[in-house]
């Protein structure tokens, strides 16, 4: 039997440095790695603090097709789901940091959720699960 896990999810970005600034300053993520691979390519990983699993690979668009996907990698649907154990604190931090709130918090049967956009318009859910232990 094998043991698998999801390691990274790539998000296409316009610029490495502006994306790093957004994720580390606005969302308070950790910069895990920023390695130069060539004159035009870097390996940049960010992740939520406290996260022990999947990280985000910030991948700079290199073609016109990739550029056309910046901010809309899922056709306008929520793309990523950020779970928290302190919704009110994290939501207020998003507001304080000027992150665009798309849908105000609501209580659902699965927990409390709000929708926000990253610097390019990708949609995220911020969720505090109603189930003890999270997702």
Burial string for 1-13 (b: 16+ CB within 10 Å, else e) reads eeeeeeeeeebbb
Same domain, 50 and 76: no
Q: Is the pLDDT of residue 133 over 90?
A: no
Same domain, 65 and 1: yes
Could you report the per-residue pLDDT of 86-105, keeping only the tens digit for each?
Answer: 999 999 999 999 999 999 99
pLDDT value of residue 63: 96
The domain total for the chain is 2
Same domain, 85 and 131: yes
Same domain, 41 and 83: no
How many other CB atoms are there within 10 angstroms of residue 129's CB atom?
Answer: 16
Name the domain boundary from 35, 54, 70. 70
The CATH number linked to 100 is: 3.30.720.110
Nearest to 120 by CA among 105, 100, 135: 100
Q: If pLDDT is split at 50, 70 and 90, which confidence band does 3 have? A: confident
User: What is the C-alpha to C-alpha distance for residues 72 and 49, in angstroms, rounded to an integer?
Assistant: 25
**pTM attached to this predicted model:** 0.90
């Amino acid at each position: 039997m094998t043991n698998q896990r999801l390691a990274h999810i790539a998000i296409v970005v316009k610029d490495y440095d502006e994306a790093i600034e957004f994720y580390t300053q606005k969302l308070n993520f950790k910069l895990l790695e920023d390695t130069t691979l060539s004159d035009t390519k870097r390996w940049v990983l960010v992740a939520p603090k406290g996260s022990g699993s999947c990280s985000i690979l910030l991948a700079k668009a290199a073609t016109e097709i990739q550029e056309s996907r910046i901010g809309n990698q899922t056709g306008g649907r929520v793309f990523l789901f950020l779970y928290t154990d302190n919704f009110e604190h994290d939501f207020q931090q998003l507001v304080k940091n000027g992150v665009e709130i798309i849908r105000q918090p609501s209580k659902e049967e699965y927990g409390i959720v709000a929708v926000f956009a990253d610097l390019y318009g990708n949609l995220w859910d911020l969720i505090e699960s109603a189930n003890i232990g999270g997702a």
